[in-house]
Structure formats: structure tokens, C-alpha cells
Amino acid sequence: MPDADETPNALGPLRAELVVIRAQLTALSHLPDRLAELHKSVAREQERAAFREEIIDRLHSENQQLRRSEVEAALEPVRAGLYRLYDYARRESDRWALAGKENPDQHDPQSDASLYAMFAGQVGALFAAFAEETIEVLGRTGVEPFDVAKGERYDMALHRPVDTVPVDDPAWDGLVVETVSSGFVRGEQIARRADVVVAQLTGR
């Protein structure tokens, strides 16, 4: 049987271990708070990262939009020149093609009138090809022509009236009777309105 004096000495290491365990438990008791703080810190960093990404995306979008605007502004005078070139080529094509059909001497292919008609037809075809090539170039700048049919209702968003013709039939009032020059669209936007002649009821 151990002496009474030996018992406290035997419990000494055990007490020391208990002190260490108590200290560890005390430290662990603060762990949930520290984990909560860490979670908040991570959440704040994620919010900052998301905010930075949002700013970067917005700046990139604004930069792209600015570049597109600058490109569109630079292309506009080029398109204007191509519009005029296309209008001229179309007019000349129609004029020469009409001249090529007016042959007063169809029975003599070697006559001056027949040769001129043949020449006029060829010139008209060249102008027509030139007009088509101009359309292709315009297409590379992002615009394309749209058709205006005779009898189409006048629309100020699509058409620019350059003249009117009197009509007696109320059904034709306000309808397009002739297209002078083609209109063009860029995507869903009107790049240039079509020049048209509009019927107007007599007496209005």
C-alpha cells in the first residue's frame, strides 16, 4: 500500500495532463468563432473578387462598344460615298439598258442603230455588274439594301419622299409608285431611307 505522501506525487503528472487538456479545450472553444470570422473574411474576398470581375466585364463591354462606335463613325463617310456610287451605277445601268432595247433597225444587225443598241446593252450590263460589286463592298461594311415594292404603303421610317404624283383613285393615296434610290439597313436599323415617289389623291 503506497504511502500517503506518495499519492500526491503520483497524481502530479495526471494533474499536469489535465491542465494541458483544459487549456486545449479552452482553445478549441474559440474555434467556432474563429471559423465564423474566417468564413466572413472569405465571403468578403469573394464579394470583392465578384465586384472586380463585374468592373472588368463592364469596362470590356464599354471598350468594345466604344470601338464599335469609332469604327461605325469612320465607316459612315465611306458608306455615303458607296451609296452615291451605287445610285449612279444603277441609273446608268437602267439608262443604257433602255437605250439598248431601242433599236429602230432590228433587221440589219450591222447597221449603225443595231451596233449602237448592242453597244448600249453591253455598257448597261457593265454598269449593272459594277452596281452589284458596290453592293458587295457595302455588305462588308455591315449594310445591305432593302426592297421597296410598288404599291407599298409609305412609311416615313423607311422612305424619303422626293416627289408626289396626283391620283384619282383613293386606294392609291399614300402608296409608293416609284423607287428613285434604294434604302439600306444595318442589322435591324435603317442606315439610309429609300427615296420614293408617293401617290397623292387629287384635291388634297
What letter would DSSP give residue 204? Answer: -
User: At residue 200, does pLDDT exceed 90?
Assistant: yes
The pLDDT confidence band at residue 22, using thresholds 50, 70 and 90, is confident
pLDDT tens-digit map of 118-131: 888 899 999 999 99
- Structure confidence at residue 72 (pLDDT): 81
pLDDT tens-digit map of 144-161: 999 899 999 999 999 999
Q: Which stretch, 56-65, 72-81, 94-103, has highest mean pLDDT?
A: 72-81
- Structure confidence at residue 61 (pLDDT): 81
In angstroms, the CA 37 to CA 43 distance is 10
Phi, psi of 194 (to 5 degrees): -80, 135
Average pLDDT over residues 56-67: 80
- Structure confidence at residue 141 (pLDDT): 92
The pLDDT confidence band at residue 53, using thresholds 50, 70 and 90, is confident
The residue assigned the cell 456610287 is 85
Q: Is 90:182 a contact under the CB 8 Å cutoff?
A: yes
Distant-in-sequence contacts of 156-160, Cβ < 8 A, 24+ apart: 157/190, 157/193, 158/183, 158/190, 158/193, 158/194, 159/183, 159/193, 159/194, 159/195, 159/196, 159/198, 160/193, 160/194, 160/195, 160/196
- Structure confidence at residue 116 (pLDDT): 84
> 113-122: b or e for each residue (b if 16 or more CB lie within 10 Å)?
ebebbeebbe
- Structure confidence at residue 194 (pLDDT): 96
The residue assigned the cell 452589284 is 132
Q: Where are the domains of the chain?
A: 6-61, 143-204
CATH architecture, domain 143-204: Roll (2.30)
- Structure confidence at residue 10 (pLDDT): 62
Tell me which of 131 and 204 has the higher pLDDT: 131
For residue 184, give the nearest of 176, 193, 175 by alpha carbon: 193
CB atoms within 10 A of CB 43: 10
pLDDT tens-digit map of 101-118: 876 666 677 777 788 888
Average pLDDT over residues 162-187: 94
Beta strands of the chain (E only): which ranges? 144-146, 159-167, 176-181, 183-186, 189-192, 194-201
